[in-house]
């Protein structure tokens, strides 16, 4: 494994990619998508195969990737009728921040591979829709660039590097630039086997947040440069006691992302986190881990209302959001859906995707007899397990 300086001209590749994007977007302008799945097709047409595969791919056989989406179809909504739904209020409060809907943008890496404005365009889309954005540790725009681009409420997602001084510096930069919380991704001691990236020899460009600190450009004879980067930088020794270290270097509330079991939910509460994100990393880590919607309720029951529980994984419809809220989530995070909008139409596409999901959620609430998110209760859904028990 060696540094890749001089072997890959990122700026030249960027110019060629943006020329390609412009040609594709001219073709796509006449095709107005009506749902997230159609935005995915526009993204496929707009992106080079390497980058499309990077954003859409999962680990190994991609069983969990499929299940994250398909598991929603096995949950049935129980609508209530003759309720006055002439006014629907989707607003909620997340860690003290008022937001227009129980939707957050999940932290996803390297947005400039999808659009030349990168995370700045995503942040502006979030601000326009009055929702919270999670900024990835692996972003292609700096913390400062995103913070100065708009007035969106922002949370900063982080990995813990072997060099803890770099991690501490990034946390301090986020705090200095007005980020409202830290999201600790805890399910990545090593990177999952993402076979599309290996086949494509996925390129990891130098990430601006780390310029002058560490090189993020690596090559590997095993395929994915992203995997090579993670192997060099990520701290596989990270464990529960390190939550205390993180709390000691920041005053920001800490959300832990990657919880899938009641046991870990209880440990997270004991560690003093401010919230839990039920997530399997977009099915990019451990294949055959459970679909997140299938374990959400287990985590909610374990937490017993002590901290808010958020949901991440497979959301493509407003009905999916409704189901997650009914099973106890405070809000949902959307990742790939936002990337699809960004790839197809930049900031405008981000706003359109968010608005689509808000509109679909509003309609679902109206047709289910719910005037506010607080009205969405466990009685509004039937899970596959419950249907099975009823048949016994």
Catalytic residue among 111, 115, 281, 380: 281
Quote the CA–CA distance of 17 and 14 in Å, as a whole number.
5
Nearest to 342 by CA among 328, 358, 332, 353: 353
Q: Across-strand partners of 156?
A: 135, 182
Q: How far apart are CA 158 and CA 255, in angstroms?
A: 10
Helical (H) or strand (E) element with 87: none
Whether 63 is catalytic is no
Task: Quickly tell me which residue has 């055959």 as its tokens.
Answer: 288
Q: What is the C-alpha to C-alpha distance for residues 343 and 335, in angstroms, rounded to an integer?
A: 13
Question: Coil, strand or helix: which one is 119?
Answer: helix
CB-CB contact of 184 with 255 (8 Å): yes
Q: Where are the beta strands (DSSP E) in 107-221?
A: 132-135, 154-158, 182-185, 218-219
Q: Give first-to-last CA distance, the chain, whole Å.
A: 57
CB under 8 A, 24+ apart: contacts of 297-304? 297/327, 297/328, 297/383, 298/261, 298/262, 298/265, 299/259, 299/260, 299/261, 299/262, 299/265, 300/327, 300/328, 300/329, 301/262, 301/328, 302/262, 302/263, 302/265, 302/266, 303/265, 303/269, 303/276
3-class state of residue 255 by DSSP: strand
List the catalytic residues: 281
């Amino acid at each position: 494994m060696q540094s890749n300086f001089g072997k890959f001209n990122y700026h030249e590749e960027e110019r060629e990619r943006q020329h390609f994007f412009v040609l594709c977007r001219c073709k796509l302008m006449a095709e107005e998508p009506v749902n997230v799945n159609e935005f995915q097709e526009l993204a496929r047409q707009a992106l080079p195969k390497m980058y499309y595969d990077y954003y859409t791919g999962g680990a190994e056989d991609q069983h969990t990737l499929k299940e994250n989406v398909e598991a929603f179809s096995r949950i049935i909504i129980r609508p209530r009728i003759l309720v006055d739904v002439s006014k629907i209020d989707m607003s909620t409060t997340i860690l003290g921040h008022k937001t227009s809907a129980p939707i957050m943008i999940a932290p996803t890496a390297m947005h400039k591979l999808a659009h030349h404005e990168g995370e700045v365009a995503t942040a502006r889309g979030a601000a326009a829709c009055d929702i919270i954005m999670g900024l990835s540790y692996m972003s292609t725009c700096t913390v400062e660039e995103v913070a100065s681009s708009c007035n969106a409420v922002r949370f900063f997602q982080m990995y813990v590097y072997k060099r803890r001084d770099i991690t501490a510096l990034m946390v301090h930069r986020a705090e200095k630039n007005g980020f409202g919380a830290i999201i600790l991704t805890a399910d990545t001691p090593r990177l999952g086997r993402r076979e599309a990236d290996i086949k494509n020899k996925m390129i990891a460009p130098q990430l601006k947040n780390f310029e002058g600190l560490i090189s993020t450009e690596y090559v590997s004879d095993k395929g994915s440069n992203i995997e090579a980067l993670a192997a060099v930088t990520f701290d596989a020794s990270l464990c529960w006691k390190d939550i205390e270290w993180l709390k000691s270097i920041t005053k920001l509330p800490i959300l832990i992302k990657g919880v899938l079991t009641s046991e870990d939910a209880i440990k997270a509460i004991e560690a003093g986190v401010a919230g839990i994100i039920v997530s399997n990393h977009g099915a990019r880590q451990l294949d055959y881990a459970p679909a997140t919607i299938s374990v959400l309720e287990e985590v909610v029951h374990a937490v017993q209302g002590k901290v808010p529980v958020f949901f991440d994984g497979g959301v493509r419809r407003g009905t999916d959001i409704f189901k997650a809220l009914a099973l106890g989530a405070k809000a949902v995070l959307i990742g790939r859906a936002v990337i699809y909008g960004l790839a197809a139409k930049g900031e405008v596409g981000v706003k359109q995707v968010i608005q689509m999901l808000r509109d679909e959620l509003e309609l679902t609430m109206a047709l289910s007899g719910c005037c506010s998110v607080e009205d969405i209760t466990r009685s509004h859904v039937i899970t596959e397990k419950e249907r099975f028990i009823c048949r016994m």
